[in-house]
């Protein structure tokens, strides 16, 4: 008899790996709120858990699912995306050389600059979509991490993960990919050569704007991964069991939500690209986007839920368009079921590389016709 074919990732996510609670055979996994676990008389932990700052059965299920979805070796949950990202750098040796792009999640960019100013790391900000610039920045034997974000937030810069990994590995550096905007539904960086994937799980992995969480998934275990696990436990950088349970619930619909939002984003981007009131659109699904060819090669099923654009008329026009939108909500996040708009430069403040007139859209799962009509209404109203 032939073996059953392996389950597809969407099925694994929908069924949370098919796990059933063993005592009462419940389909929905329980929450384990306990902070402590009993020992046997000889000091062992028969359940394999000692303290929730390090281990919790509610984490185990989510970490196992993320490991499978990303095609990794192990995963760790964190209390936020920033907690996950900063742990990568805090576990480097003092003075380690780090290469990262300037066009990236702005809070991490500011934190890396602060870390460099305090002498903890040596930071070179290099556009990672420019392979020649990346090669020139590498310091063989000294560069510890090349950080990439693809698509980037908020301008959708695409980095060739396989090419960057080849360059970084030749210099002895690891590649860490921020996969927040793509999710494993659209891109799996580990399969393309990255060593770690980071997610702000607050965003599309959870998908409901009600959980703060982060995750790291590794292609292979080793001393640095062991140090990351150690730091997470001792710094208490984990999320709570209830948040982990909510994240797992969100992951069950990940493939449906990502497909819907990516399809809607593609339609929105195409309409904006032809609109006379729009000066520029940033979305890798558009054929004239500089990274479209690479994105089409390393992403499958769509190009993500984030569309950014610049209306004619500068900063004031952008703010007027944002204020006139009625379906899009003005808020600082992305990846939820609801569509959001944000004037990024005013959020990021002085020194941001983001254009002063750029609006970032996070496309949710609403009917795209309603989102397009809302944008057309706001663009027309702002022009009057």
The residues annotated with a catalytic role in the active site are 53, 105, 178, 203
Show the 3-state SS of the chain.
CCCCCCCCHHHHHHCHHHCCCCCCCCCCCCCCCCCECCCCCCCCCCCCCCECCCCCHHHHHHHHHHHHHHCCCEEEEECCHHHHHHHHHHCCCCCEEEEECCCCCHHHHHHHHHHHHCCCEEEEECCCCCHHHHHHHCCCCCEEEEEEECCCCCCCCCCCHHHHHHHHHHCCCEEEEECCCCHHHHCCHHHHCCCEEEECCCCCCCCCCCCCCEEEEECCCCHHHHHHHHHHHHHCCCCCHHHHHHHHHHHCCHHHHHHHHHHHHHHHHHHHHCCCCEEEEECCCCCCCCCHHHHHHHCCCCCCCEEEEEECCHHHHHHHHHHHCCCCEECCCCCCCCCEEEEHHHHHCCCCCCCCCCEEEECCCCCHHHHHHHHHHHHHHHHC
Q: Beta strands 340-343 and 329-330: pairing type?
A: parallel
Sign, CA torsion 95/98/103/104: negative
Asked whether the beta carbons of 186 and 208 are under 8 A apart, the reply is no
Q: How many residues does the chain have?
A: 384
């Amino acid at each position: 008899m032939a073996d059953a074919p392996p389950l597809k990732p969407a099925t694994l996510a929908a069924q949370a790996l098919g796990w059933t609670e063993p005592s009462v055979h419940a389909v929905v996994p329980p929450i384990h709120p306990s902070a402590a676990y009993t020992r046997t008389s000889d000091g062992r932990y028969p359940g394999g858990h000692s303290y929730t700052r390090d281990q919790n059965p509610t984490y185990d299920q989510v970490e196992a699912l993320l490991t499978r979805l990303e095609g990794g070796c192990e995963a760790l949950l964190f209390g936020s995306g920033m907690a996950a990202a900063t742990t990568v750098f805090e576990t480097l040796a003092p003075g380690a050389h780090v290469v990262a792009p300037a066009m990236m999640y702005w809070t991490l960019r500011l934190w890396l600059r602060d870390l460099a100013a305090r002498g903890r790391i040596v930071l070179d900000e290099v556009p990672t979509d420019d392979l020649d610039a990346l090669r020139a920045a590498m310091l063989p034997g000294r560069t510890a991490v090349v950080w990439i974000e693809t698509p980037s937030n908020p301008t959708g810069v695409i980095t060739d993960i396989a090419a960057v990994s080849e360059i970084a590995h030749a210099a002895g550096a690891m590649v860490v990919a921020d996969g927040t905007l793509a999710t494993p539904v659209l891109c799996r960086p580990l399969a393309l050569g990255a060593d770690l994937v980071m997610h702000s799980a607050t965003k599309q992995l959870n998908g409901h704007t009600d959980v703060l969480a982060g995750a790291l998934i590794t292609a292979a275990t080793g001393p640095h991964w062991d140090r990351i696990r150690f730091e997470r436990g001792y710094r208490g950088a984990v999320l709570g069991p209830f948040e982990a349970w909510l994240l797992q619930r969100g992951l069950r619909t990940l493939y449906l939500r990502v497909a819907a939002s990516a399809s809607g984003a593609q339609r929105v981007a195409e309409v904006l690209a032809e609109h006379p009131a729009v000066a520029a659109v940033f979305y890798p699904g558009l054929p004239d986007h500089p990274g479209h060819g690479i994105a089409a090669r390393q992403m499958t099923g769509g190009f993500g839920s984030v569309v950014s654009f610049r209306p004619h008329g500068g900063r004031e026009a952008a703010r007027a368009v944002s204020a006139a939108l009625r379906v899009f909500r003005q808020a600082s996040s992305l990846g939820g079921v609801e569509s959001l708009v944000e004037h990024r430069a005013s959020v990021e403040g002085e020194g941001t590389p983001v254009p002063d007139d750029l609006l970032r859209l996070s496309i949710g799962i609403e009917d795209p016709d309603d989102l397009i009509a809302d944008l057309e209404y706001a663009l027309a109203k702002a022009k009057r």
